Structure 1
Amino acid sequence: MALSVSPVETIAWASLLGAAGQWLGNRLRMPPILFWLTAGMLLGPGAAGLIDAGALRDGLPAWIELALVVILFEGGLNLDLRTMRREGGLVGRLLLLGILASLGIGGVAAHVWGGLGWEAAAVFGALAAISGPAVVAPILKHVRVHRRLAQVLLGEAMLVDALGAVLAVVLLQGLAAGAWWPNGAWWLARTLGVGLAFGLVGGAGLGWLLARAAVRDSELRMVFAVAWVWAFAATAGQFAAQAGLVSAIVAGVVVQRFPVPDIARLKRFKGAIVVWLVSTLFVILAASLDLQALRTALGPGLGVSAALAFVARPLAAWLATLGAGWPRADRAFLAAFAPKGIVVAGMASLAGESLAHAEVAGAERFEALVFVVVLAASLVYGLMSGPLKRWLGVRGPEHTMLIVGGGALALEIGRAMEGWEVWYLDSDPYAVARMRRAGARAVSGNPMDPLFLELAGAPDAAAALVMTPGTEHNLLIARILRDDFRVETLWVAVEEGDERTYAKLMQRVGVVRAFGKHLSYTYWADQAYRKRLVYETRTIAPDSPLVGCRLGDVRIPNGVLPIVIRRGKEATLAHDDWVLAAGDEVVLLLRPERVEKGQPLLLPPVSEKSGVRAQFANAHHTLQ
């Protein structure tokens, strides 16, 4: 006997399975969409019967639209405006050519192999252009390509969500009216215009209110922001169908231009809502599928997926990057990366009903075909992006570094890290202000809060140096960077006397002591702030007894701090495990008053023969 499932039970089970799928995805480093779709199909009416999308009846389309608004607003809020200014032309070409290629090649493939009528095939082509940050971001979090490539992919995903959805709606409107031209052009222009206007006004109003702290309660501010965006999106939709989607992403971009004091918390709050909405909706939508229709659509869907993956996307990516000066490996990765997400699935559910109501040929196969493409794209791009990156030789974030704490000392270390992009996070707002005046990218906030670590660039950092006043505090921050952000290389400053106390903990966390010696944080930070330090550069000679020594074993006098070691064209932070070689340039900070003229600044370990001094070539200049 079939179980009677209530709306409450459907939402409760879908939420639980969505959260479990997200957890499994993080643990196994796989796209969670695979677990969501599988759970929905196994527990839907066609199988276990614990989840029934039909129980939500008319509420499901409204929920989908509200969820898409929050997803797109969160995307606009996180859109990297610096990258858009620098790479806006490339992203624009990817959007235009990607949509055109999907409409043409994807539409023809859906008609020929998928059995859709031309009208339904055109709508399919518009939806197939959509990728979405909700699925792109988790994959890039695991694959970790360099920042420029990641931001272009994320920027494209955020913008194509709204444009692809709007285009699909315009095509559906044309289908209902019996003609796409010239009315379609007017509908498209009206939708974009209304969405832009409401997004600008709504975003400016919300940004102004949040910046002036008109709503002071922190929790209420977050809820107020969501309600505000929903209200403006709903109002925009009254003037033009789906204009609310455009208004949401525009509002997000506008809000981040305002000096909102807790914008990082707003982003994290939106991110949590998006994770819940995306996971729950995916499970419910997967449960609504007819498993027999899905099996029927499997073969044609794989053929359509192949046409999109091997013809449409590569063609659009290669044409978009012509003359852009991008490396061949990056262009190939762009051409081979186009996953599909919740916006595709949500719009497919809405579009499928409209096509069935209009009695369009192939409407009964439309939703199943879209889900096969989504599932195939998730499997291919989620599982193969990592091996593809390594095979193509795409750079990861190898030369991006986050320095946590340190104040003025951090800035001096960052200046010496030639060839690295260095970002800063400090709890001292005055230190951060000085860093920004010096042209550095710096964030003020609590480094124990993952929210601020994320805002400072931890997800894109290949390495991090943590140097706050306490060793234990440094290790706790390093553990967050390792566990939550998978930063591969971690260095920590260790106070005098703490080396043995925290040796086992350092080994468990997987960190290395920075500078090759203990750091008296208060002293060095104060001296850097007062500009009392100078740089010294020492080159290790071929006959030096230091050749082959670990920096952690080298004797370093008081008042001398190794900060960077250069070998050839590469630079790295000075740390215990570095083995010195002939030709290494060791950059040191020192107080001239603490060092006698001609005094060796680096001495071999005590096990070496006494009285032997290293041979160095010297360079000396004062801090600016």
Structure 2
Amino acid sequence: MAIAADGAMSPVTAFALIGALGVGAQWLAWRLRLPAIVLMLAAGLMVGPVLGILDPTRDIGSLMGPMISVAVAIILFEGGITLNFHALGGAAKGVRRLVIVGAPLGWLLSTLALRYVAGLDWGSAAVFGGIMIVTGPTVIAPLLRQARMQRRPAALLQWEAIVNDPVGALAAVLAFQVVVVLQTGQGLAANGGAFVIGLVFAALVGVACGWGTAQAFRRALVPEYMKVPVLFVVLLACFAASDAVLHESGLLAVTLMGLWIANADLPSYVELRRFKEHATILLVSGVFILLAAAMQPETLALLDWRALAFVVVVIVAVRPLTVLISLLGTDLPWAERLLVAFTGPRGVVLVAVAGLFGERLVSLGVEDAARIGPLAFALVAGTVVLHGFTLTPMARALGVASREIPGVLLVGGSKWAAAFGEALQSAEVPVLVLDGNHARLRSAREAGVPVFYGDILSEAAEHGVEIMSYGKVIAATDNDAYNTLVATDLAPEFGRDNVFQLQRVKQESARHAMPATLGGRALGQGQSYFELNLLISEGWAMKVTRLSEEFTAEDWAAMNPRAILLARLQPNGDLRLHAEGKTLEAGPDTRLVAMVPPENAVS
């Protein structure tokens, strides 16, 4: 039976419930445009301490600890594998400061806040203060995806979160070793030596695993279909080997392994990263639900006014002082410094590691260490809720957010692309036309439409284009195969509903046609590149028309029977490109962008 008489459910049922709640919370957040982390936290608390439906300790038992440890290791590895040094750009100096200066300074200030505000003794404060260095890649990633920030501040937050996670865990290990010496009288030299040996071993194992994996993949020693399984096995072995020598050093090892692979220029790197991103979404969801549901009512009862004061002090004093002092002397604009300073959400790594060390300190006789777990949960909940709702408006207020209306990337320069881009710009939609041929960009430049000289799939475009400013892609070159390649390659990043291409030229034989499963959605009403540009040369023009109560979509269609509808801009600023076969559904204040024949061009 799935549920026993005492209310306990089987581990299989518990896993299914955790998965359904995690993915369901993320889907609901997408539909409601709310922070996913907040809904996951709420869902975990609701089924856990509030309703008592799920008790991970009861329903999963001894598997819970190892599961969370492995999940955190995979999450950190996925974070490391996204950190390509080329992507740092102008954020490199800031990241170094946040790690080299910010980590020890944050440790000191956090320890002082825990001692004098939360009321912990020096031992517990030092251990938890080290853990508080971390800022949570599990939380930063979805927040950045939601806030759509500019490249440099986003890179600062992402790199700091991923690099400082293992640093914080190791700082806690160091502080814990000192507490062990003080509590048990063991030799400081022996414990310090074990810490250094474990640290060096973890670094060597991480680099060796990253180098070995990269070499095996580059030399085709692993078949394509086995690369992801092999990667997972090596990752788990790397984590387990390091953790066996020094607790929590496995986090450093897997982060270094990911960093090495990210910068090894592997041909299958993009596919590996995307698969791990999908796995990480599931793991983040599951771990958040699991940790929130595991909170016991009596544990939550340990939170008092001092806990609230502690969270407030961390948000308004400890984090801002750490960041602003660390970034002194850099050339970063003050708007970016302030955004980073007041953005420090904590995530699953903090809760997991804090709970582990809290239990170990209690077993050593440090009684107030029992408050570390509840304080960690309060800090995570407070920062997640605060930053989940404030990061986007704060980024906009400071001028470091991407444009509010996600723009359009037009891949392929032509007279049609220039005309469409100019029409979108007149409707206040950001546009960028990209092409590897200077001559093809001439029409767009003359029309005042921003252009980028280069291939959209090149490294130059990856690092030179503010991709986060754009929400739609239209592959509109004269090469159907290239259009299909662009649409297929960018679909996982932009979402398949947001990737379009011009209609392919129909082949005489179905055997010679490209599979319908590849590429993007067909834009407009089925016209190809050549047909659209021919219409432009015949005098057709782009026209933007605003609908109203008096002039409806039906009226527009009746007046423009030959028009080719390309896009509509909703009153709330949401841009929707018109796909082939879709019917026109638009209300008042909607703006329609369409190609119209010469007789309708002026009216």
Counterpart of 1:192 in structure 2 is: 199
Choose the corresponding residue for 1:209, options 210, 216, 220: 216
Residue 313 of structure 2 is aligned to residue 303 of structure 1: no
Residue 371 of structure 2 is aligned to residue 365 of structure 1: yes
The 1:344–1:607 alpha-carbon spacing in structure 2 relative to 1, beyond 3 Å, is closer
Counterpart of 2:589 in structure 1 is: none
The one-letter code matched in structure 2 to 1:270 is K
Per-residue deviation, 1:249: 0.9
Counterpart of 1:539 in structure 2 is: none
Choose the corresponding residue for 1:162, options 160, 163, 166: 166
Counterpart of 1:152 in structure 2 is: 156
Provide, for residues 531-568 of structure 1, a one-character-per-residue CA deviation record: whole Å limited to 9, x for no partner: xxxxxxxxxxxxxxxxxx995269xxxxxxxxxxxxxx
Choose the corresponding residue for 1:519, options 509, 526, 529: 529
The 1:63–1:487 alpha-carbon spacing in structure 2 relative to 1, beyond 3 Å, is closer
Provide the TM-score with structure 2 as the length reference: 0.72
Residue 348 of structure 2 is aligned to residue 345 of structure 1: no
C-alpha separation in 2, matches of 1:177 and 1:13: 43
Provide, for residues 98-136 of structure 1, a one-character-per-residue CA deviation record: whole Å limited to 9, x for no partner: 333432332222233333222111122122221122210
Give 5+ residue unaligned stretches, structure 1: 427-434, 444-455, 498-508, 525-548, 555-574, 578-603, 610-624
Residue 9 of structure 2 is aligned to residue 5 of structure 1: yes
Residue 95 of structure 2 is aligned to residue 91 of structure 1: yes
The one-letter code matched in structure 2 to 1:212 is R
Per-residue deviation, 1:378: 0.3
Per-residue deviation, 1:231: 0.6
Provide, for residues 452-492 of structure 1, a one-character-per-residue CA deviation record: whole Å limited to 9, x for no partner: xxxx9855646644215589997998899799738999896
Segment drifting more, 119-128 vs 96-105: 96-105
Counterpart of 2:509 in structure 1 is: none
C-alpha separation in 2, matches of 1:11 and 1:608: 60
Counterpart of 1:598 in structure 2 is: none
Q: How many residues align?
A: 503
Residue 41 of structure 2 is aligned to residue 32 of structure 1: no
Q: Please tell me whether the aligned partners of residues 111 and 117 of structure 1 are also in contact (alpha carbons under 8 angstroms).
A: yes
Residue 542 of structure 2 is aligned to residue 552 of structure 1: yes
The one-letter code matched in structure 2 to 1:552 is M
* Residues 545-584 of structure 1 aligned to structure 2 (within 5 Å): 552=542
Of Structure 1 and Structure 2, the greater helix share is in: 2
Q: Please tell me whether the aligned partners of residues 114 and 304 of structure 1 are also in contact (alpha carbons under 8 angstroms).
A: yes
C-alpha separation in 1, matches of 2:461 and 2:493: 25
Counterpart of 1:62 in structure 2 is: 66
Counterpart of 2:320 in structure 1 is: 314
Q: Please tell me whether the aligned partners of residues 423 and 440 of structure 1 are also in contact (alpha carbons under 8 angstroms).
A: yes
Provide the TM-score with structure 1 as the length reference: 0.70
Per-residue deviation, 1:31: 2.8
Provide, for residues 12-37 of structure 1, a one-character-per-residue CA deviation record: whole Å limited to 9, x for no partner: 22222122122222223333222222
Choose the corresponding residue for 1:71, options 68, 71, 75: 75
C-alpha separation in 1, matches of 2:71 and 2:106: 25
Residue 29 of structure 2 is aligned to residue 19 of structure 1: no
Counterpart of 2:272 in structure 1 is: 266
Counterpart of 2:48 in structure 1 is: 44
Counterpart of 1:600 in structure 2 is: none
Segment drifting more, 80-89 vs 248-257: 80-89
Counterpart of 2:110 in structure 1 is: 106
C-alpha separation in 2, matches of 1:226 and 1:496: 42
The one-letter code matched in structure 2 to 1:328 is W
Segment drifting more, 484-493 vs 47-56: 484-493
SS at match of 1:229: helix
Per-residue deviation, 1:257: 2.9
C-alpha separation in 2, matches of 1:170 and 1:285: 25
Counterpart of 1:241 in structure 2 is: 247
C-alpha separation in 2, matches of 1:125 and 1:510: 54
Per-residue deviation, 1:296: 3.6
C-alpha separation in 2, matches of 1:512 and 1:423: 26
Residue 488 of structure 2 is aligned to residue 485 of structure 1: no
Counterpart of 1:466 in structure 2 is: 475
C-alpha separation in 1, matches of 2:529 and 2:135: 47
* Residues 430-469 of structure 1 aligned to structure 2 (within 5 Å): 441=462, 459=468, 461=470, 464-468=473-477
The one-letter code matched in structure 2 to 1:70 is I
Q: Please tell me whether the aligned partners of residues 200 and 250 of structure 1 are also in contact (alpha carbons under 8 angstroms).
A: yes
CA RMSD for the aligned pairs? Answer: 4.3
The 1:270–1:54 alpha-carbon spacing in structure 2 relative to 1, beyond 3 Å, is same
C-alpha separation in 2, matches of 1:245 and 1:183: 23
The one-letter code matched in structure 2 to 1:28 is L
Q: Please tell me whether the aligned partners of residues 392 and 401 of structure 2 are also in contact (alpha carbons under 8 angstroms).
A: no
Provide, for residues 500-530 of structure 1, a one-character-per-residue CA deviation record: whole Å limited to 9, x for no partner: xxxxxxxxx99899xxx97329999xxxxxx
The 1:333–1:69 alpha-carbon spacing in structure 2 relative to 1, beyond 3 Å, is same
The 1:57–1:521 alpha-carbon spacing in structure 2 relative to 1, beyond 3 Å, is same
SS at match of 1:322: coil
Q: Please tell me whether the aligned partners of residues 114 and 300 of structure 1 are also in contact (alpha carbons under 8 angstroms).
A: yes
C-alpha separation in 2, matches of 1:263 and 1:88: 22
Per-residue deviation, 1:199: 1.2
Per-residue deviation, 1:54: 3.8
Q: Please tell me whether the aligned partners of residues 512 and 576 of structure 1 are also in contact (alpha carbons under 8 angstroms).
A: yes
The 1:323–1:105 alpha-carbon spacing in structure 2 relative to 1, beyond 3 Å, is closer
C-alpha separation in 1, matches of 2:20 and 2:55: 11
Segment drifting more, 26-35 vs 306-315: 26-35
Choose the corresponding residue for 1:134, options 138, 142, 152: 138
SS at match of 2:8: coil
Counterpart of 1:174 in structure 2 is: 178
The 1:53–1:22 alpha-carbon spacing in structure 2 relative to 1, beyond 3 Å, is farther
C-alpha separation in 2, matches of 1:511 and 1:184: 66
C-alpha separation in 1, matches of 2:412 and 2:191: 55
Per-residue deviation, 1:290: 1.9
Q: Please tell me whether the aligned partners of residues 99 and 164 of structure 1 are also in contact (alpha carbons under 8 angstroms).
A: yes
Residue 230 of structure 2 is aligned to residue 221 of structure 1: no
Q: Please tell me whether the aligned partners of residues 550 and 576 of structure 1 are also in contact (alpha carbons under 8 angstroms).
A: no
Q: Please tell me whether the aligned partners of residues 490 and 510 of structure 1 are also in contact (alpha carbons under 8 angstroms).
A: no
Segment drifting more, 37-46 vs 151-160: 37-46
Segment drifting more, 470-479 vs 344-353: 470-479
C-alpha separation in 2, matches of 1:172 and 1:421: 53
Q: Please tell me whether the aligned partners of residues 503 and 523 of structure 2 are also in contact (alpha carbons under 8 angstroms).
A: no
SS at match of 2:303: helix
SS at match of 1:552: strand
The 1:482–1:226 alpha-carbon spacing in structure 2 relative to 1, beyond 3 Å, is closer
The one-letter code matched in structure 2 to 1:330 is E
* Residues 314-333 of structure 1 aligned to structure 2 (within 5 Å): 314-333=320-339
